[in-house]
């Protein structure tokens, strides 16, 4: 039953940042030759035009150098590095408890059968603008795997489906039978009309499945095909 890509260990993720440099907003002194004159003096007025032109020329030269600097990020490059922070939230659609899970090495909590996480745990960053090929690494351990090896983790590299503008949302991690997992970046929780992929609350999902409510209220072991 275990995924072929299952292995042990916890991964780590890296972050990138950007630095913004701003020019000073004003100049407080005007220098003429080797002496500093009050701005309102006759000498300062006489030299005022030349000083302003000199300063303006220096700024133009610096601006020209800046535009030719290949290390200066363009606005398009800056947008590509923008990220949105998402709280991890586990959803268990199986008969077996999920004892622990991680996304990109960040702890995400645990989840009982047909339940959501009791609260959000860690958080990760994804590109603010979706593009094809965004993936995350999910690692988890259910009770069956723990019984076999308490240090083992099932691992899956999961592609994140298309998402729109997210201001403050979640990365929903849905655990499915067959040790499968899906992830969704969204502002909305399962059960909401705008939830991604029509996600239901795990408890409501169980209520609709034949035999699930009866099994849930019993002390029977997990059913074949439901873990």
Query: How does pLDDT run across 98-124, given as a tens digit for each residue?
Result: 999 999 999 999 999 999 876 667 999
Instruction: Judge whether 149 lies within some domain.
Output: yes
Co-location of 62 and 88 in the same domain: no
Instruction: Judge whether 9 lies within some domain.
Output: no
Co-location of 149 and 88 in the same domain: yes
Co-location of 187 and 97 in the same domain: yes
Instruction: Judge whether 179 lies within some domain.
Output: yes
Q: Tell me if 112 sits within 8 A of 203, measured CB to CB.
A: no
Structure confidence at residue 80 (pLDDT): 52
Collapsing DSSP to helix, strand or coil, 202 comes out as helix
Q: What is the CA radius of gyration of the chain?
A: 29
Co-location of 201 and 109 in the same domain: yes
Co-location of 46 and 111 in the same domain: no
Co-location of 44 and 140 in the same domain: no
Instruction: Judge whether 227 lies within some domain.
Output: no
pLDDT digits (tens, 9 = 90+) for 11-29: 333 333 333 323 333 333 3
Choose among 6, 156, 10, 176: nearest CA to 90. 176
pTM (whole model) above 0.75: no
Co-location of 54 and 87 in the same domain: no
Q: How far apart are CA 7 and CA 61, in angstroms?
A: 57
Co-location of 131 and 57 in the same domain: no
Co-location of 98 and 204 in the same domain: yes
Beta pairing partners, 136? 158
The pLDDT confidence band at residue 216, using thresholds 50, 70 and 90, is very high
Res 37 pLDDT > 50: no
Determine how β-strand 154-159 pairs with β-strand 135-142.
antiparallel
Co-location of 175 and 213 in the same domain: yes
In the numeric block, which tokens belong to residue 11?
């991964």
Choose among 97, 87, 92, 95: nearest CA to 175. 92
The region of weakest confidence among 66-80, 143-157, 204-218 is 66-80
Structure confidence at residue 136 (pLDDT): 99
pLDDT digits (tens, 9 = 90+) for 75-94: 444 345 699 999 999 999 99
**DSSP state at residue 147:** H
Whole domain around residue 53: which residue ranges? 31-67
pLDDT digits (tens, 9 = 90+) for 42-73: 444 444 444 444 444 444 444 444 444 434 33
Phi, psi of 204 (to 5 degrees): -70, -35
Structure confidence at residue 140 (pLDDT): 98
Choose among 189, 176, 183, 5: nearest CA to 96. 176
In the numeric block, which tokens belong to residue 63?
């601006």
Co-location of 46 and 117 in the same domain: no
- Overall number of domains in the chain: 2
Co-location of 138 and 207 in the same domain: yes
């Amino acid at each position: 039953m275990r995924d072929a890509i299952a292995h042990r260990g916890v991964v780590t993720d890296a972050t990138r940042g950007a630095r913004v440099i701003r020019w000073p907003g004003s100049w407080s002194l005007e220098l003429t030759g080797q002496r500093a004159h009050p701005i309102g003096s006759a000498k300062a007025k006489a030299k005022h035009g030349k000083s302003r032109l000199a300063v303006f020329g220096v700024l133009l030269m610096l601006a020209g150098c800046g535009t030719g600097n290949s290390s200066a990020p363009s606005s398009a490059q800056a947008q590509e590095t923008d990220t949105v922070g998402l709280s991890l939230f586990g959803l268990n659609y199986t008969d077996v408890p999920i004892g622990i899970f991680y996304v990109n090495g960040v702890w995400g909590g645990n989840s009982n059968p047909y339940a959501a996480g009791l609260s959000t745990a860690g958080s990760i960053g994804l590109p603010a603008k979706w593009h094809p090929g965004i993936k995350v690494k999910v690692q988890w351990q259910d009770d069956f795997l723990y019984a076999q090896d308490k240090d083992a983790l099932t691992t899956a590299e999961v592609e994140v489906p298309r998402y729109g503008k997210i201001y403050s949302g979640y990365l929903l991690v849905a655990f499915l039978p067959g040790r499968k997992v899906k992830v969704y970046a969204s502002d909305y929780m399962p059960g909401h009309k705008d939830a991604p992929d029509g996600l239901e609350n795990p408890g409501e999902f169980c209520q609709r499945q034949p035999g699930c409510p009866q099994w849930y209220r019993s002390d029977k072991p997990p059913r074949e095909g439901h873990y």
